[in-house]
Amino acid sequence: MLVPEEGPAAVLALKDGTVIWGRGFGGAGTRVGEVVFTTAMNGYTESLTDPSYRGQILVITHPLVGNYGVPPDFESRRIQVEGLVIAALTEPSHPRSERSLHEWLQGEGIPGIEGVDTRAVVKRIRGSGVMAGALSVAEDPGDIDPEALLRAAREFDYESVDLVRPSLGPATMGVGGHHVVVVDFGIKGGIVRELVARDFKVTVVPWSWGLKEIMSLRPDGIVVGNGPGNPSAMEDGVELVRGILGTGVPTLGICLGHQLVALALGARVNKMKFGHRGINKPVRDLSTGRLSITTHNHGYAVDPSSLDGTGLRPRFVDVDDGTLEGMVHERMPLLTSQFHPEGSPGPRDASYVFDEFRAMVLAGGRH
């Protein structure tokens, strides 16, 4: 047990009974969430502000975190994770840094723990699957009650928490001739930037707007975006996407959007044991054989054996473990990716997904 001699103490308690002491940073207090890990070596500002991470405590496996401070590379307006777990926090040194990682987390009241053997935590998660955890930071170690944290972790059920909330909309950007409506379940800014860069006029709308309001904008294309939580619990979201697909407007589904498309057309989505979170995941495009290194952040995946009879066909597959990473439809102007073609953070190898969507939109619904 490591109780720091100076500075705040912190405890990460996992549902399986593991209690880890470390040094606290960021905001004081206690947060509960699903504990997940990312193998990304950099891009922590983008990751921490990715709304898909809502309800989750993020473990970064890269050993040193914080060295380039906090540049203004955000995917949404605030930190979205419930807590941050790292091996070592470093002093920032970078011309684009506006403050330290510690100051940023402190300002937003998000607890962080350092001095953790993150490899041991990851081995536990990989062995037993993702599990709930509670993270507490306090000036005085005596104020932390590990038993209470374990109880809080045991009571937390990520599957049933409603985490979906629009992160950007409503807003219109870009001046292009073709109009794309982005359905916001917790959209990443990077997706919108990629669309604006392709000369679209882009309107981001909260998913709660419904089909009628979306169609009243007369979209030439629709993007069903990323977002947090369990897609199978989002009945209204699935219903909305079914309606969107019924209009025949060219549609791009990204991450949560890809999963909702699958559910809307009758396929199945399963929870993965510990998910894919990283920025160097190899994905094969089955239409060409082309390989891309891609960014992932997903804890659920579409079951490829459930595509029969839905009209959906596999388009992208993860080379490491065979996970279905994207789909097309036999008749509809539809393209989906489980990975993040915008990177943010990460490589842009697969940004041609946006080019292909643009071609679909320009073709006016004929694929």
- Of 122, 71, 55, 63, nearest to 88 by C-alpha is 63
Q: Write down the least CB distance from residue 261 to ligand GLN, Å.
A: 12
Question: Is 76 marked as binding a ligand?
Answer: no
Residue 255 is a catalytic residue: yes
CA dist., res. 37 & res. 43, Å (int):
14
- The minimum distance between CB 46 and ligand GLN, in angstroms, equals 12
- Helix, coil or strand: residue 70: coil
For ligand GLN, the binding residue among 284, 298, 315, 358 (CB under 6 A) is 298
Whether 194 is a known active-site residue: answer: no
Is 52 annotated in a binding site? The answer is: yes
The answer to whether 340 is a known catalytic residue is yes
67 is in an annotated binding site: no
- Between CA 35 and CA 251, with CA 314 as vertex, the angle to 5 degrees is 85
Closer to ligand GLN by Cβ: residue 298 or 358: 298
Cα separation, 159 vs 233, in Å, equals: 8
> Is 300 part of any known ligand binding site?
yes
Phi, psi of 270 (to 5 degrees): -115, 155
From 4-12, 285-293, 295-303, 322-330, span contacting ligand GLN (CB under 6 A): 295-303
Q: Give the range of 71-79, 89-97, 236-244, 296-304 binding ligand GLN by CB under 6 A.
A: 296-304
Between 164 and 334, name the residue whose CB sits nearer to ligand GLN: 164
Buried b (16+ CB within 10 A) or exposed e, 230-269: bbbebeebbebbbebbeeebbbbbbbbbbbbbbbbbebeb
Reference 169, options 238, 77, 69; nearest CA is 77
**CA distance linking residue 135 with residue 149, whole number of Å:** 7
C-beta of 208: minimal distance to ligand GLN in Å?
17
Q: Rounded to the nearest whole angstrom, what is the least distance from the CB of residue 52 to ligand GLN in the complex?
A: 3
- Residue 169 binding ligand GLN, by CB under 6 A: no
Nearest distance from C-beta of residue 18 to ligand GLN, angstroms:
23
Which candidate in 82, 255, 296, 325 is catalytic?
Answer: 255
Integer Cα distance of 101 and 107 in angstroms: 10
Count residues binding ligand GLN (CB under 6 A). 11
Instruction: Give the CA distances from residue 318 to residues 41, 118, 164, in Å, rounded to whole numbers and listed in that order.
Output: 20, 25, 26
* DSSP letter string, 297-348: EEEEEE-GGG-TTTTEEEEEEETTT--EEEEEESSSSEEEESSBTT-SSS--
The residues, any chain, with a CB within 8 Å of residue 27's CB and separated by 6 or more, are 105, 106, 107, 108, 109, 110, 111, 137
Question: Does residue 21 contact residue 9 with C-beta atoms inside 8 Å?
Answer: yes
- By CB under 6 A, residue 156 contacts ligand GLN: no
CA–CA dist 135, 12 (Å, integer):
5
Contact code string over 251-280 relative to ligand GLN, x by CB under 6 A: ----xx------------------------
Tell me whether residue 256 is annotated as binding. yes
211 annotated to a ligand binding site: no
Residues 225-244 that bind ligand GLN (CB under 6 A): 226-229
Q: Is 323 in the site for ligand GLN (CB under 6 A)?
A: no
Binding residue (CB under 6 A) for ligand GLN from 45, 52, 106, 167: 52
Which of these ranges, 8-16, 197-205, 223-231, 316-324, lies near ligand GLN under the rule CB under 6 A?
A: 223-231
Has 64 been labeled as part of a binding site?
Answer: no
207's enclosing H/E stretch is: none
Residue list for the binding site for L-glutamine: 52, 227, 229, 256, 259, 297, 299-300
Q: Catalytic residue positions?
A: 255, 340, 342
Which residues contribute to the site for ligand GLN (CB under 6 A)? 52, 226-229, 255-256, 297-300
